[in-house]
């Protein structure tokens, strides 16, 4: 018995260490993002500029290094953190609600809807950034609304119907995106579209951060407040209902928040796959399925991972690499490694 | 407290599942819900729990319709343990039990120290504290049922609905679950509806001194209800199950009264 207690204590201690490491990851990643990149900035230089800002509250406008750190790399790193976190959390929430490990926000049609919105922006508004973001965001939400509408035509098991509705809406928007690519000007418009579709944080700054921050933070807070209810939902509809959880309302709020935060993320970064699907699994395998820790740690891991990937994306070659390529290339082997090590035991 | 069911009818499409069912469940009483597959036992429990709300008739606790209660208000009075267990995420048994406190938490609340303490107390009372830190989905069928019973106790509802709690358990685990249910009845005044396929369960509870009533369903209607001996007769069972049986009487070691036991003899094929 005491042996078993020691074992569980040891286990708990290990879990705590892993949790703390994951929670610190985004901070380390964002710090690294400040001095790593094509323009050579040393660690000391970065620390010195940060110290200057922290102590005096401003930096020298003439200083190129400080400009790169605070005007380009810092907003981009913070944005990467929020986008990655949003994608991972919405994946965690939707996988839980649909009791399906293969689900992420793309399934509700958000990604394809947002992509079509962006394509419209590129073709009809010359790819003006604000317009592309706004259209992507609106069409992302429109797609979810359509999926929901198709689903509510049927009275039984609305969540399964929502998956079906999402598949239908996704494929329609996917076809529309292809059509947009087909009619787009191959020299002026097509490269922008293709680059956007592969996902990137290139040319993002405080403007994008301000746009994406509010929907992501608010949605995450609402989802986090409902963490215990999400645990109860894992018991299945019938048991959760008998424990006094309003199934329809709870799932509705959670799906709406996931859609909102994904639409905001996709609108500023394009479609970045893989994070929403895989980051929550990693946390489930490493820490467990209790949403009280799953939600914040998914946010931390997804956010930290995207910041790191973005560092690679802008450092590997002189031209920016699309993030979607790297997330898959880096994430897949690591996921397989984790799967073999834990034998996928928490799913 | 009394839970009354009046003229309950339920249709699924054009098919009638429950046809004018009326019965009552009093605090301190255990109702064994019996009937062949498809006779409407689970549907009836789903209706009582409030999960199915598309029925005709009345389901009330002390005159208040269950469908009019707020979700948490209802959950503090009625606990439901469905037959199928859908937990497919890894949670420690302790946490599964802790979920029983949900009706007492605000929408955004998380269980606190008092809730954790109550969980431990209930686990100890059921003598399953060794399961607390084990992962629920790795437990055996019998252990899972005990954990779910613990959750029902933590939920603190007077009325407990148990849908075939002994389904697919081996002999010993089946007995263990029955013992815990009768202990629960004897130590506090719950009102339990338990659906089951084994009519002998009703005799077991009666012999343990639990105030037991049997309700026999056939095609969504009550054929007979009352004391187990009066309901579970050879004739009634032949009529409902198309099965020939004999009723034996035996006195278990240490028991004072004899207990009936129904033994199936042969099916009435082709009728």
Nearest by CB to B108, which of A226, A236, A290?
A: A226
> pLDDT of B225-257, one tens digit each?
999 999 999 999 999 999 999 999 999 888 888
A227 and B105 within 8 Å at the Cβ level: the answer is no
Measured between CA atoms, the residue of chain A closest to residue B135 is A346
Å between B172 CA and nearest CA of chain A? 25
Tell which wins on pLDDT, B124 or B254. Answer: B124
Answer whether B114's CB lies under 8 Å from B154's CB: no
What φ, ψ does residue B156 adopt, rounded to 5°?
70, 20
Q: What is the mean pLDDT of each run of 10 residues along chain A (347 residues)?
A: 57 89 95 89 88 85 87 93 96 86 80 91 84 89 86 65 86 93 87 84 84 94 96 90 92 90 89 87 87 96 95 86 84 77 61
d(CA A97, CA A255): 8
pLDDT at position A158 is 61
Chain B positions touching A290 (Cβ under 8 A) are 91, 95
Å between A5 CA and nearest CA of chain B? 10
Express as a percent the part of chain B with pLDDT over 70.
99
A221: region left, alpha or beta (phi > 0 left; psi from -120 to 50 alpha): alpha
Token digits for A327? 């997330």
Chain A positions touching B91 (Cβ under 8 A) are 231, 234, 288-290
Nearest by CB to B90, which of A226, A241, A346?
A: A346
d(CA B155, CA A290): 20
Q: Report the 10 Å Cβ neighbour count for B1.
A: 13
Q: What is the 3-state secondary structure (H, E, C) of A180-203?
A: HHHHCCCCCCHHHHHHHHCCCCCC
> pLDDT of B189-239, one tens digit each?
899 999 999 999 999 999 999 999 999 999 999 999 999 999 999 999 999
Measured between CA atoms, the residue of chain B closest to residue A344 is B90
Measured between CA atoms, the residue of chain A closest to residue B72 is A244
d(CA A279, CA B178): 44
Give ipTM to 2 decimals: 0.91
Q: Report the 10 Å Cβ neighbour count for A319.
A: 8
Domains within chain A, CATH numbers bracketed: 80-342 (1.10.3470.10)
Q: What is the dihedral of CA B95, B75, B204, B150, to 10 degrees?
A: 10
pLDDT at position A2 is 43
Chain B positions touching A229 (Cβ under 8 A) are 102, 107
B75 and A243 within 8 Å at the Cβ level: the answer is yes
d(CA A305, CA A326): 11
B46 and A238 within 8 Å at the Cβ level: the answer is yes
Question: Residue B22 pLDDT more than 50?
Answer: yes
Question: Residue B171 pLDDT more than 50?
Answer: yes
A289 and B89 within 8 Å at the Cβ level: the answer is yes
B89 and A239 within 8 Å at the Cβ level: the answer is no
Pick from B35-44, B48-57, B84-93, B167-176: least confident: B84-93
pLDDT at position A144 is 87
d(CA B23, CA A64): 83
Nearest by CB to A244, which of B71, B86, B87?
A: B71
């Amino acid at each position: 018995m005491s042996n078993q207690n020691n074992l569980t204590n040891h286990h708990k201690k290990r879990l705590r260490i892993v949790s703390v490491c994951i929670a610190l990851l985004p901070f380390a990643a964002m710090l690294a993002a400040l001095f790593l990149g094509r323009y050579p900035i040393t660690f000391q230089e970065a620390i010195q500029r940060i110290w200057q800002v922290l102590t005096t509250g401003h930096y020298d406008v003439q200083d190129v290094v400080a400009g790169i750190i605070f005007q380009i790399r810092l907003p981009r790193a913070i944005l990467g953190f929020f986008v990655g976190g949003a994608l991972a959390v919405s994946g965690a929430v939707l996988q839980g609600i649909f009791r399906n490990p293969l689900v992420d926000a793309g399934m509700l049609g958000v990604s394809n809807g947002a992509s079509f919105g962006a394509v419209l922006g590129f073709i009809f508004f010359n790819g003006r950034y604000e317009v592309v973001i706004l259209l992507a965001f609106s069409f992302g939400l429109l797609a979810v609304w359509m999926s929901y509408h198709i689903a509510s035509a049927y009275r039984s098991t609305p969540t399964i119907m929502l998956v079906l509705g999402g598949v239908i809406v996704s494929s329609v928007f996917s076809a529309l995106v292809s059509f947009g690519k087909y009619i787009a000007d191959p020299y002026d418009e097509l490269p922008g579209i293709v680059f956007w579709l592969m996902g990137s944080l290139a040319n993002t700054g405080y403007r994008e951060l301000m746009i994406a921050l509010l929907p992501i933070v608010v949605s995450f807070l609402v989802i986090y407040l409902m963490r215990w209810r999400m645990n109860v939902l894992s018991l299945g509809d019938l048991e959760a209902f008998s424990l006094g959880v309003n199934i329809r309302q709870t799932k509705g709020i959670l799906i709406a928040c996931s859609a909102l935060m994904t639409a905001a993320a996709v609108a500023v970064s394009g479609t970045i796959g893989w994070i929403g699907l895989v980051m929550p699994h990693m946390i489930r395998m490493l820490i467990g399925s209790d949403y009280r820790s799953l939600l914040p740690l998914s946010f931390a891991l997804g956010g930290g991972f995207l910041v790191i990937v973005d560092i690679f994306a802008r450092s590997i070659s002189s031209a920016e690499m699309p993030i979607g390529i790297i997330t898959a290339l880096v994430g897949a082997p690591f996921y397989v490694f984790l799967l073999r090590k834990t034998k996928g035991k928490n799913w | 407290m009394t839970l009354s069911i009046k003229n309950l009818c339920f249709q699924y499409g054009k098919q009638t599942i429950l046809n004018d069912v009326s019965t009552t469940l009093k605090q301190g009483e255990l109702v064994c819900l019996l009937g062949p597959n498809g006779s409407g036992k689970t549907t009836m429990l789903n209706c009582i729990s409030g999960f199915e709300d598309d029925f005709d008739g009345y389901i009330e606790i002390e005159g208040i319709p269950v469908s009019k209660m707020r979700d948490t208000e209802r959950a503090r009075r009625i606990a439901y343990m469905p037959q199928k267990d859908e937990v497919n995420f890894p949670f420690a048994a302790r946490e599964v039990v802790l979920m029983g406190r949900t009706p007492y938490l605000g929408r955004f609340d998380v269980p606190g120290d008092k809730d954790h303490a109550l969980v431990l107390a209930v686990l100890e009372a059921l003598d399953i504290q060794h399961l607390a830190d084990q992962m629920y989905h790795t437990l055996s069928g019998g252990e899972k049922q005990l954990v779910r019973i613990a959750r029902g106790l933590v939920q603190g509802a007077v009325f407990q609905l148990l849908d075939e709690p002994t389904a697919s358990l081996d002999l010993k685990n089946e007995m263990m679950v029955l013992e815990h249910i009768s202990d629960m009845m004897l130590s506090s005044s719950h009102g339990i509806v338990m659906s089951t396929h084994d009519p002998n369960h009703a005799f077991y509870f009666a012999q343990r001194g639990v105030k037991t009533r049997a309700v026999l369903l056939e095609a969504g209607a009550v054929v007979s209800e009352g004391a187990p001996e009066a309901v579970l007769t050879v004739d009634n069972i032949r009529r409902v199950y198309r099965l020939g049986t004999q009723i034996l009487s035996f006195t278990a070691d240490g028991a004072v009264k004899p207990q009936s036991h129904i033994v199936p003899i042969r099916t009435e094929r082709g009728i």
